[in-house]
Amino acid sequence: MPGKMAMTEVRKTVQRIRLEPAQQLELENIQRRHFLRAGLTVGAMSMLTGCNLQDGDQVDKALWAMSRWNDRVQAWLFSGHKLAPTFTRAQITTPFPFNAYYGQDDIPEVDLASYSLAVSGRVRDKAPWTLESLRKLPQRSDITRLICVEGWSAIGQWGGVPLKTFLEHIGADTTAKFVGFKCADRYYSSLDMPTALHPQTLLALDYADVALPPKYGYPLRVRVPTKLGFKNPKHVVEIFVSNDNPGGYWEDQGYNWFSGI
Amino acid sequence: MRQKKLHPLPIRLTHWLNAVCMVCMFMSGWAIYNASPLFSFRFPVSVTVGGWLGGALAWHFAFMWLLLINGAIYVLYGAVSRHFKRALLPIGLVALKRDLTDALRLRLVHEKGVYNAVQRLMYWMVLAAGALVVISGVAIWKPIQLQELVALLGGYDSARYVHFGAMAMIAAFVVIHLALVILVPKTLLPMITGGVRSLDAGENGHD
């Protein structure tokens, strides 16, 4: 290889050079300056504290790249058969905490009479669904722990249609990569297909055996016990199947997209 | 004559890489703690990294890989090269009592190339805390996929306390470690250059 040849020649040339004492001193000074500069970059560590995934600088790019790598590792760690631990009614956290990107006063108003769930993307049947038709599908209820990205957790009981059952009914292409959700509060999120098909992933209609109240995401929320809380969108109005990653409200700002637990 | 290094290159490299990793893990971890504190205090924002929770988490889950790989290389090297055995063993009870008394009376003499019994014990303790911080960290990262591990730590909530406790043990070690370097500054340079093992260190000296 020509490049390698050139390198060898350079190395030989370097070995032959004899430096004058003045040159030697100059070289040492340059090396010392380089060492100082390296020291300064360590000092510049403190300036990195501003790197937050939102400035678009080199450090942010590296952090985003690592987050995509972590998506892949987590997808590999995920088992579609491993169930989230379930709890007894006595262990339910009461009251279950309200949590959203807005305060409790800004919970969206949804007109239940005119509500319908839109379906789009890689599916056979794109007809919208009413709440009654959703209730006619097989139901499932689990008492599971919701873990927030902030670290706190709470145990609650959600009931509804397994997302897998729903996807089968609409003839979804389950070889597609993503299932996306759009919400009445302009929130949005998405799941990888293996998680969407997990038996405990629900289109939840009930909390503690009664229809979802507004603060828990009425009339329909996605409950995914194998994901962090922010990947459980509330007030869902549209579901779509896609091969392009739909991202999410928090995910697009820097929370890890996969966020499996 | 071939001079033996006081600190072999793999130990120095992993030591300093680990120092960088730990600074990042501490600072980002404290920011994550602040999002949902376990105790009635928060860490000052000035000692955190990431700017907001999402940024802090990104730092934490990026540097965990470097920490893990670097730690694995260190442990593997320590075991295969018998560095652990030569430098950190044995720890006799008599020696421990003597060195601890001397240390508390500030009379313990620094012997180049030889760790005293208190140091040896502290190194083993911080290694154990390091293993615990990784195990508990992985457990609260994947509490469902690795639910058996979480159960072993007493459940999700308790695993968070274990992670914090292991962090606090390592932080306490770092404080003592740095205080000792300040007390005996001549130990710092050999950790960078490798230093030279003095001839009279004999068979007991580690390399």
ipTM of the prediction: 0.86
Judged against a pLDDT cut of 60, whether residue A38 lies above it is answered with no
The mean predicted confidence, pLDDT, of chain A is 87
CB contact under 8 A, A77 and B50: no
Whether A84 and chain B come into contact, CB under 8 Å, resolves to yes
Whether residue A104 is found in the same domain as residue A233: yes
Q: What is the CA radius of gyration of chain B?
A: 19
Task: State the maximum Cα–Cα separation within chain B, in Å, rounded to a whole number.
Answer: 60
What pLDDT is recorded for position B197?
73
**pLDDT (tens digit per residue) in B72-95:** 999 999 889 888 777 778 878 888
The pLDDT value recorded for residue A18 is 63
- Asked if residue A48 has pLDDT above 60, the reply is no
Out of A81-85, A100-104, A257-261, B201-205, least confident range: B201-205
B142 at A interface, C-beta within 8 A: yes
In A114-173, the residues whose Cβ lies within 8 Å of chain B are 145, 147-153
Element (H, E) at A238: strand A236-242
| B156: enclosing H helix or E strand | helix B156-183
Say whether both A178 and A68 belong to one domain.
Answer: yes
Query: Domain residue spans in chain B?
Result: 90-186
Classify A48 as helix, strand or coil: helix
- What are the structure tokens assigned to B201, written together? 């260190």
- Indicate whether A153 and A238 sit together in one domain: yes
Q: Answer yes or no: do B58 and A254 touch at CB < 8 A.
A: yes
Given a cut of 60, whether residue A12 has pLDDT beyond it is no
Per-residue pLDDT tens over the stretch A160-191: 999 999 999 999 999 999 999 999 999 999 99
> pLDDT at position A58, please?
86
pLDDT tens digits, B128-165: 999 999 999 999 999 999 999 999 999 999 999 999 99
CB contact under 8 A, B55 and A45: no
According to DSSP, the residues that pair with A223 across neighbouring strands are: A202
Inspect the interface and report whether the beta carbons of A52 and B147 lie closer than 8 Å. Answer: no
Are residues B54 and A250, on separate chains, in Cβ contact within 8 Å?
yes
Asked if residue B198 has pLDDT above 70, the reply is no
Q: What is the pLDDT of residue A114?
A: 95
The residue among B110 and B177 whose pLDDT is bigger is B177
d(CA B121, CA B90) in angstroms, rounded, equals: 10
My answer on whether A46 and A94 are in the same domain is no
- Tell me how many residue pairs between chain A and chain B have CB atoms under 8 A apart: 94
The token pair at B205 is 């000296």
Report the pLDDT value the prediction gives residue B203, as an integer from 0 to 100: 43
The whole-angstrom distance between B96's CA and the closest CA on chain A is 37
The yes-or-no verdict on residue A252 having pLDDT over 70 is yes
Q: Name the pTM for this structure.
A: 0.84
A254 touches chain B (CB under 8 A): yes
The pLDDT score that the predictor gives to residue B119 is 82
Tell me: do A6 and A98 sit in the same domain: no
Residue A136 placed within a domain: yes
Judge whether A80 is closer than 8 Å to chain B, CB to CB.
Answer: no
CATH of the domain at A113: 3.90.420.10
Contact B144 A48 (CB under 8 A): no
Query: Is A261 contained in some domain?
Result: no
- Whether residue A230 is found in the same domain as residue A138: yes
The answer to whether residue A53 neighbours chain B at the CB level (below 8 Å) is yes
- Residue A181's domain comprises 58-253
B28 close to B49: Cβ distance less than 8 angstroms: yes
Q: Answer whether B36 sits within 8 Å of A226, measured CB to CB.
A: no
Q: Of the candidates A48, A84, A153, which has its C-beta nearest B157's C-beta?
A: A153
* Chain A residues lying within 8 Å of B26, measured CB to CB: none
The answer to whether residues A179 and A111 touch, using CB atoms and an 8 Å cutoff, is no
Number of domains present in the structure of chain A: 2
Within 8 A of B157 by CB-CB distance, chain A residues are: 153
Domain membership of residue A259 (yes or no) is: no
Residue A94 sits in the same domain as residue A210 = yes
A196 and A74 housed in the same domain:
yes
* B53 in contact with chain A, both atoms CB, cutoff 8 A: yes
Residue in chain A nearest B35 by alpha carbon: A150
